[in-house]
Every structure is written in structure tokens, then in C-alpha cells.
Amino acid sequence: MADRPMIEIANVSKFYGIYKALDDVSLTIGEGEFFSLLGPSGCGKTTLLRSIAGFETPTAGEIFIDGVPSLALPPNRRPTNMVFQNYAIFPHLDVAENVAYGLKRLRLSAQDERKRVGDALDQVRLTGLGQRKAHELSGGQRQRVALARALVMRPKVLLLDEPLSALDKKLREEMQVELRTLQKAVGITFILVTHDQYEALALSDRIAVMFGGRIAQIASPKEIYQRPRTRKVADFLGGMNFLKAKVLGEQGNAVSVDAARFGAVSLDKPQGFAATNGHVTVGIRPERLRLLWDDDRAPHELAGRIENRAYFGEVTHLTVGVDGLEQPLSMVETNNFGADDLPVGAEIRLAYDPEAFVLLAEDPPVTRV
């Protein structure tokens, strides 16, 4: 989190008729930060990004870009540039003309303009492709042109609207690394909209998870994955075993609960925590459960049987039934030790770490129509 705020979103709401696309959203994004807006489709993340760019006008609230109240400014007068989801490469111009598009306004000398275009193309590793036409480019190249075209403007904030969603998996992973490197190199604020939790986790300094036009949690990737605040956030960021637990007692910031067969567990109280009828929801990630072989012993063990098995190459996903638990547990095992050879129905033992449990707050009710 950088010291100086670059974007301040203050109580922004956007209504389409009675539909609330954004519901009183407030957040601050620092200078030089890589910030992700993560959520399912229709959660308002793109509307928020487009409001920062100036393509949507929020119904209420204010957006400050580098301290300047910007809602009244049209897109062309904001120090932001955007990489569009479909890249929006101008089809009648070649690559160099696309990149130089925004520079024309600056009336640079032909030499300076060529230099800046060349530098921008080098930056995205498209050196020498300036004369290509838009239709001669591959998906990855189009994406790079869109990046170069935005970066050449030297914006204060770069907005990325699901920039990698149209690429295949391999290329997407390559581009993720490149995006991160690029952001570190240019040092400007990047705001990424994505519905891919791995992308958000891999790239961001901080992530805001959004549901139904509201922000559910803002935190670093590690914190948001390991300490999700609500059940929905936990669920959206990956697999999670949810358990109903009985509250045994509260002590300061800690709550101790009876997590069924897992026994008594002491947990940190999340913000907005409230027990309903003395019960709470706790969760543990599948990879925090570990299979025990033959003579392995662990301080905390549980017996169960394999109900289902799915092979994923490097890992195997197991569904394990445990007596006394309402839901079977899901767990992830690497295939180094032969987890992929375990038959369905096999009796196994698993180890867990009580520290790995998280207490989850209830999600606010969905008020949207």
C-alpha cells in the first residue's frame, strides 16, 4: 500500500432504474499500487472501472483521481487510460498508428513521436511489428498493442478490463507474469478487473472482492485467501470446507468454538462477527487437510473414508466422508505419494492444524431487485 492515494472512491452508487449496479462503494487506491477488483459477473466491478475511466456517470458519490474530483470530467480529460476487454484495436490503422493515436494531440515532432512509439512497443515486446495491421495480429499481440497504446500516454492510472480473459491458459499465465513485471517497471497504479481469482491473487498488491454492487472485503492476496471475512468471499477465492460450529466462549478478540469432530478451536474474531443462536460458520481450505500414510502420526487426526476421487494431473481432489460431519470434506493431495491410486471406499486418516480454521461472518443480505 503506497503512501499517497491516487484514486479515492467516495460513496459511489450507480442505479440503472431500480437496479443497483454500485451500492455505496468507497475505497482508496495508492500510487503505484496493483489493485484488483474481483467478483462474479454482474457484481459491479466493470461499472466501477468504467466510472473511473469516465464512461459511466455514477448516480451518487465522487471519484478523486490524484486529488482532483473527476466525475464532471469527460474520459479524454482524465489522467487514466484503459485496456479494453476486446482490446479495441483500431482496424483501419497499423500497430504504430494505433500506439501513436493518443500522441497526435500532443503535437510532438515526428522524431519524438516515433521514439515514444518505439519505446512503448519495446516495452511490450512488439519491437519491429509497427507496420502490421490489426487483423494480422494474434490475440496476445493485440493485447500488447492495447497495453502499449495506453502506456505510451504515460497515464497516472492504467485501467485493465479483464485483459487476459480472451487468451488461452498458457498465454494467460505468461501475460500475468509480464503484466506484473511491467507494472513494477513503469511504477504507475494499475487497476485490474477480473473474475479469475488466481489472476487476482497472482498479480495484485491488494484485492477488493465485490458482490452485488458492494465491496465484501479489501485485503492483500494472502490475507484475503487465508482470512476471508465472509462465507461468500471464502467460497469465491477457492475451495473451502464449511462447518457449523457451536460458540463455547468469547475472550477479547478470540472466540472458541466446538467444530464438531475437529474439537474445540480458538479463532480470531472477524469484523462484523455475530453468532446466530450460538452457532457460527467456520471454514478450512482443502489443502490444509493432509493425508496420513501408514505410520504417520499427527497431533490432530481424524478418520474417514474416500467417497470420491478426481485426478487433476499434479494433484488429486478427494472427497472424504467423516462420521459425525454433515458434509463430506474435500481435500487436495499432491500425487507424489500415490494419492491418485487410493480406491474409492478406502479408509484413511487425515491430519489438520486447528490454526488453519477461519471464522466466517454472515454475508449481508442481497437487497438488489
Partner 1 sequence: MTAAAFGALADTPSSGRRRAWMRSEEARGLALISPTFLYALALLFLPVLIVIAYSFWTQDYLDIDRTFTLENYRQALTEPIYRDLFIRSLWISLTVSIVTVVFSYPIAWFISFHGGVHKNLWLFLVTVPCWTSYLLRVMSWKVILGYGGVMNTGLISMGLIDKPLTSLLYNSNAVVITLVHSWAAFAILPIYVSLQKIDRTLIEAARDLGDSRFKAFLRITLPLSLPGIISAFLIVMIPTVGDYVTPRLVGGKDGVMIATAIQAQFGKGANWPLGAALSVTTMVLVSLTAAAVVLALKFTVRRIR
* Contacting positions for partner 1 (CB under 8 A): 53-55, 74-76, 80-82, 84-86, 88, 90-92, 97, 101-102, 104-105, 149-150, 153
Residue 186 Cβ vs partner 1, minimum distance, rounded to whole Å? 17
**Cβ distance to partner 1 smaller for residue 103 or 209:** 103
Order the strands of the 315-321 sheet from edge to edge: 290-292, 347-351, 301-311, 315-321, 329-334
**Cβ distance to partner 1 smaller for residue 102 or 239:** 102
**Cβ distance to partner 1 smaller for residue 153 or 175:** 153
Let me know how long the chain is.
Answer: 369
Residue 96 Cβ vs partner 1, minimum distance, rounded to whole Å? 12
**Cβ distance to partner 1 smaller for residue 45 or 288:** 45
Please state the separation of Cα 331 from the chain's center in Å: 22
Distance CA 75, CA 56 (A): 10
Q: Please choose, from the candidates 106, 47, 116, the residue with its C-alpha nearest in 3D space to the C-alpha of residue 76.
A: 106
Residue 2 Cβ vs partner 1, minimum distance, rounded to whole Å? 24
Q: Please choose, from the candidates 54, 53, 56, the residue with its C-alpha nearest in 3D space to the C-alpha of residue 13.
A: 56
Distance CA 293, CA 336 (A): 12
Do residues 60 and 105 make contact, with C-beta atoms less than 8 angstroms apart? Answer: no
Distance CA 155, CA 103 (A): 12
**Cβ distance to partner 1 smaller for residue 79 or 354:** 79
**Cβ distance to partner 1 smaller for residue 91 or 324:** 91
Please state the separation of Cα 131 from the chain's center in Å: 36
Residue 91 Cβ vs partner 1, minimum distance, rounded to whole Å? 7
Residue 159 Cβ vs partner 1, minimum distance, rounded to whole Å? 9
**Cβ distance to partner 1 smaller for residue 154 or 231:** 154
Distance CA 50, CA 258 (A): 46
Q: Hey, CA dihedral for 38, 157, 82, 177, is it positive or negative?
A: negative
**Cβ distance to partner 1 smaller for residue 92 or 170:** 92
Residue 61 Cβ vs partner 1, minimum distance, rounded to whole Å? 21
Residue 76 Cβ vs partner 1, minimum distance, rounded to whole Å? 5
Residue 143 Cβ vs partner 1, minimum distance, rounded to whole Å? 13
CB-based contacts of 163: which residues, under 8 Å, 6+ apart?
83, 85, 87, 143, 146, 147, 175, 179, 192
Alpha carbon distances (Å) from 271 to 83, 168, 229, 231: 35, 38, 7, 13
Distance CA 157, CA 147 (A): 12
**Cβ distance to partner 1 smaller for residue 136 or 174:** 136
Residue 77 Cβ vs partner 1, minimum distance, rounded to whole Å? 8
> Any bridge partners for residue 350, and if so which?
291, 302
DSSP sequence for 265-321: EEEEPPTT---BTTEEEEEE-GGGSEEE-TT---SSEEEEEEEEEEE-SSEEEEEEE
